[in-house]
Amino acid sequence: MPEESEAERSEHVDDVGMSGGSPDNNTGNSEHVDDVGMSGGSPDRKQLWHGRFAGGPSEALQQLNDSLPFDQRMFREDIAGSRAHVTMLESVGILAAAERDGILSALDVVEEEIASGTFEWAASDEDIHTAVERRTTELEPAGAKMHTGRSRNDQVATDVRLWTLQAIDEITDLVRALQWTLLSQAEAAGDAYLPGYTHLQQAQPVALAHHLLAHGWMLNRDVDRLADARRRTDVSVLGAGALAGSSLPLDPSISQKELGFSGLFDNSLDAVADRDFVADTLYALTMIGVHLSRIGEELIIWASTEFGFVTLDDAFSTGSSMMPQKKNPDIAELARGKGGRLIGNLTGFLASVKGLPLTYNKDMQEDKEPLFDAVDTVRLTLLALDGMISTTTFNTERMAEQANSPYAAATDLAEYLVANGMAFRDAHAVVGEHVRHALEGQGTLVDLVSADERLGEEAAAILQPGVSVTRRTTHGGGSPEAVAAQLERFRTAIS
Ligand code: ARG
């Protein structure tokens, strides 16, 4: 391996964060591209499987094959898996207590080195599993026994499961935080109301709190989906070996307990081949992205001059390089745009897994980048949108002005007639005719309604500003009292 490649490898370490890590640290590979040789490679690169091979790997193979640039962010999970494995090996008598302790101490050093950025990556470190085992063995000769009864196939599945569990917990907390922001804005909205829309045409006035909580309930289903994905992720697969278990007396239930997994695999083939939990998590994340894109779109519309329903805080808006008057809702637009990227991660991953024969195939290495990218994308989008929504000013006078069109109360008029005994279809026609006549200029809707003996003054009062919104008092409806009950249900749901 040429020396400069080693140096480039050591750059990766700077990018390793304590949690999460940097989404950019998978760019390292492309720097090597000019060096790719068609043949040759590095005769001195000693692979894990070097015994079987006479020559070293080609450069092209290494660059395509290596996953270290992106899987190094699972170093804590990899080390946790190794701790559990050597603890199990000692429990069943395969390792001596002193060997286990030596390996555990070396693993502590390796974790510290990687976390602090002093770890020296070697050219032969094709992935995080290889790197951790190599360095552990350098520090402690008994490290040569740590891979007993284990394969990178059950090891990587374990690492990804552990990483996914913490990611699900982190994203769940951020979704909850956004729900609390929506709740506090809904409470602050009081009795403010705005037009509700279908087809983006004014439909019926609704409380602003009602509208904000609609987004909050969507996010509640996301939390539920994350919990569902978590349940299927929370299964230990360490001890499945490469695919078929082991002839050694391993006890996978020990490593399961060590790692705190709730479940244990039933079938070693399925254990190493299963990536359903990645798909489940990507789907849950994608749905969050889809929901955030809908919130984003509403904020974009509401912030337009034509609507003017919200004024965005400067800290969460951008300006134009040319047009001095501009204030742009970039965060909301990115929230809308990132949905596409998340859908790409989900569908790309599913396409990689589709049709794979049992058990492990290298295609499955393609699970990590979409998963990491989806988590990074959703994390950032949630944080930015939360900040944007919590600092937004709702222009409630402007909203009311738009919602006060008497036409928006037409359905309430029809329901008034129904309450007085008319069939709904007939009531719809009566009110529809008044609307048409008003639009044709035969009089204001209020005058036409007042003059109709089936409706009269009492019905015309429904057309007054702010009245119709108070009339839809049914469960989950848009009136202030129905919304007050809903606010309590929402608070309970997210507490
Ligand atoms: N880097 C690999 C991955 O991410 C680890 C498993 C490799 N297993 C193997 N048999 N080559 O999937």
DSSP H helical ranges for 117-262: 128-139, 152-188, 208-233, 252-259
Tokens 């005994």 belong to: 421
Place domain 23-39+56-145 in its CATH homologous superfamily: Fumarase/aspartase (N-terminal domain) (1.10.275.10)
Give the per-residue pLDDT at 45. 65
Asked if 320 is an active-site residue, the reply is yes
CA of 71 to the centre of ligand 1 (A): 10
Tokens 């919104």 belong to: 469
Distances (CA, A) of 83 to 18, 251, 482: 19, 14, 54
Type and span of the H or E element at 86 = helix 75-91
Q: At what angle do helices 152-188 and 208-233 cross, to 10 degrees?
A: 160
Asked if 151 is an active-site residue, the reply is no
* Annotated active-site residue in 19, 39, 199, 475: 199
Q: Which atom of ligand 1 is nearest to the CA of 128?
A: 1
Q: Considering only CA atoms, which of 378, 398, 174 is closest in space to residue 293?
A: 378
C-beta pairs of 243-247 under 8 Å, 24+ apart in sequence: 243/151, 243/153, 243/268, 243/269, 243/272, 243/273, 243/358, 243/359, 243/360, 244/268, 244/269, 246/149
CA of 127 to the centre of ligand 1 (A): 8
Cβ-proximal residues to 128 (8 Å cutoff; 6+ apart), any chain: 67, 68, 71, 72, 74, 75, 78, 159
Give the per-residue pLDDT at 165. 98
Q: What are phi and psi of 436, to 5 degrees?
A: -65, -45
Cβ-proximal residues to 415 (8 Å cutoff; 6+ apart), any chain: 424, 427, 471
User: Environment class of residue 313 by beta-carbon count within 10 Å: exposed (0-12), middle (13-18) or buried (19+)?
Assistant: middle
CA of 177 to the centre of ligand 1 (A): 36
Query: Residue-wise over 11-50: b if at least 16 C-beta within 10 A, else e?
Result: ebbebbeeeebebebbebbeebeeeeeeeebbeebeeeee
Give just the sign of the alpha carbon dihedral 475, 479, 483, 484.
negative
Q: Whose CA is nearest to atom 4 of ligand 1?
A: 365
> Residue ranges per domain, the chain?
23-39+56-145, 152-400, 406-464
Whether residue 208 contacts residue 252, with contact meaning beta carbons closer than 8 Å, is answered with no
**Ligand 1: lining residues by beta carbon, under 6 Å:** 67, 71, 127, 152-153, 156, 360, 364-365
Give the per-residue pLDDT at 429. 96
Pocket test for ligand 1, best of 152, 359, 360 (most atoms within 8 A of CB): 152
Residue 457 tokens read as: 């003054």
Q: Assess whether the region 23-39+56-145 and the region 406-464 belong to the same CATH fold.
A: no
Bridge pairing between strands 263-264 and 235-236: parallel
Name which CATH class applies to 406-464.
Answer: mainly alpha
Euclidean distance between CA atoms 189 and 484, whole angstroms: 11
Residue 465 tokens read as: 């500003």
Name which CATH class applies to 152-400.
Answer: mainly alpha
CA of 361 to the centre of ligand 1 (A): 8
* Annotated active-site residue in 30, 253, 262, 320: 320
Euclidean distance between CA atoms 158 and 74, whole angstroms: 10
Q: What is the DSSP letter of 284?
A: H
Pocket test for ligand 1, best of 64, 67, 147 (most atoms within 8 A of CB): 67
DSSP H helical ranges for 328-461: 330-353, 368-391, 396-403, 410-419, 424-439, 445-451, 456-460
CA of 362 to the centre of ligand 1 (A): 6
Q: Which atom of ligand 1 is nearest to the CA of 129?
A: 5
Q: Whose CA is nearest to atom 3 of ligand 1?
A: 365
Residue 245 tokens read as: 């278990």
Report the Cα 434 to chain-centroid distance in Å.
49
CA of 148 to the centre of ligand 1 (A): 17
Whether residue 494 contacts residue 220, with contact meaning beta carbons closer than 8 Å, is answered with yes
Residue 412 tokens read as: 């309430």
Mind listing the pLDDT tens digit of every residue in the chain (495 residues)? 344 444 444 444 444 433 433 434 443 444 444 444 445 555 556 677 677 777 778 889 889 999 999 999 999 999 999 999 999 999 999 999 999 999 999 999 999 999 999 999 999 999 999 999 999 999 999 999 999 999 999 999 999 999 999 999 999 999 999 999 999 999 999 999 999 999 999 999 999 999 999 999 999 999 999 999 999 999 999 999 999 999 999 999 999 999 999 999 999 999 999 999 999 999 999 999 999 999 999 999 999 999 999 999 888 888 878 787 878 899 999 999 999 999 999 999 999 999 999 999 999 999 999 999 999 999 999 999 999 999 999 999 999 999 998 898 999 999 999 999 999 999 999 999 999 999 999 999 999 999 999 999 999 999 999 999 999 899 999 888 899 999 999 999 999
Whether residue 69 contacts residue 25, with contact meaning beta carbons closer than 8 Å, is answered with yes
Q: Which atom of ligand 1 is nearest to the CA of 242?
A: 10
